[in-house]
Amino acid sequence: MNPASVRNLQRKCFYALTTLALLATAGYLNLYQIIETQEVSAAVINLSGRQRMLTQKAALLSLQLVESKRPEQQQKIRRELTEVITLLEKTHQGLIHGDAARHLPSHLSAQMRAIYFEPPDRLDIKMQTFIAASRALLKETNNNLSYNNPRLQYILSAAQGELLQTIDKAVSQYQAESEKANRKIQNFALTVLIVTLLVLTLEALLIFRPMIRLLRREAKQLSDYNIQLQQLSTHDALTGIANRRSFDEFIHRRWQQAAGELSWLAVIMVDIDYFKNYNDTYGHQAGDACLRQVAASLRDSLHQSAGLVARYGGEEFAVVLPNTDLKSAYTAAEILRQSIEDRCIPHLGSHCSKYVTVSLGVAATIPSLSGSPQSLIEQADQALYRAKNEGRNRVCTAASIITGAVSLL
């Protein structure tokens, strides 16, 4: 081979390796960006869902404060409500201003800024007003604590009405932005993959055929990464069951299907009783282990069902049961409750049992295409709150069944 041919081959090899290096770097950076985007999206969505849960908990504690007659019980509720308000304010500030330690972005999108600061939503003002009203209620004397207290009325109204709707709108926007960002990054990843395949094929044919084996290995590795990313995006990292995003997608599909088939659809909301006390007593690592055991019990109890068990947020879980009426859903919920109690997980901080227990709210409906699964979830939530108010470690059903604009008793 003459020197000119050697130099030409050397140039080709150099360009080939440089091209491969650039493509490999782009693929690595893209993969890193996907993982980072998933972490940020998961943190924001989980925190906004937590914000929703905290407002509901604040409303529940406010109501319990008015209903409570014993001074020691009132003091306990005041402490819990103070902690919830503090955590709610910290969560709200983190969503607005960001927190690098919790993977929260420091800048809001234009759509999110509109939801937080512009009419008609103004979530920032609504949240500050809600927090201020909750703190003001804490300062009320026992003589002024009644169902007619205007601050209590505002808290209950906001937690079930305008504030709740605006928070749900923010959560939906966060999810939409996350999905849009993921699609954009995935499209770029697909482009990088296609270009890589073409370059590797040409170089294998023209320069070194053994690189075909490398191409296959890299393609398989990229496929494995995609599978892992899909797993991360649809499953809760701590418990291994479906996450809130999977729950929302699943119940939406089942709602549409049940509406077309005129079949029943049931939702069970599950909350671990006195879980904060559990963390305070045994520590957060033990609390994580408890969450995993509860999730496993819920999953195993429905292993033959076509339903879905998901972590809804914090210590709250959600179960979706297609083709299940209210009576059958109640039976299933009682099985879930008993299965967790039968695990005999010690809980010295519980006020209703010496073991870990759960409270469950059940609702069922025959969906309509004009309706929304949110109404069914809210019915189950209300039943869950009633179960907790009535002493916990029990199952309560919704007072009515909503199907679009029709109410079936």
Say which CATH number the domain at 24 has.
Answer: 1.20.1330
| Predicted structure pTM score | 0.47
Q: Looking at the structure, tell me whether residues 9 and 69 fall in a common domain.
A: yes
Tokens of 98: 């960001």
Tokens of 316: 């709250």
- Identify the domain boundary among 209, 234, 259: 234
- Residue 65 or residue 250, greater confidence: 250
Measured distance CA(41)–CA(44) in Å, rounded: 5
Q: How many beta carbons lie within 10 A of that of residue 282, not counting itself?
A: 17
What percent of the chain is helix, strand and coil (3-state, nearest 5)?
70, 10, 20
Residues acting as catalytic residues? 315
Q: Is residue 56 part of a domain?
A: yes
Asked if the model's pLDDT at residue 219 lies above 80, the reply is no
**Domain encompassing residue 318:** 244-408
Range of weakest confidence among 36-40, 67-71, 179-183: 36-40
**Which CATH number is 303's domain given?**
3.30.70.270
Measured distance CA(324)–CA(317) in Å, rounded: 18
Q: Is residue 312 part of a domain?
A: yes
CB of 182 closer than 8 Å to CB of 34:
yes
Q: Is residue 239 part of a domain?
A: no
Q: Looking at the structure, tell me whether residues 249 and 397 fall in a common domain.
A: yes
Q: Is residue 59 part of a domain?
A: yes
Tokens of 391: 């002493």
Q: What is the pLDDT of residues 227-281, one digit of tens each?
A: 555 655 789 999 999 999 999 999 999 999 999 999 999 999 999 999 999 999 9
Q: Looking at the structure, tell me whether residues 157 and 66 fall in a common domain.
A: yes
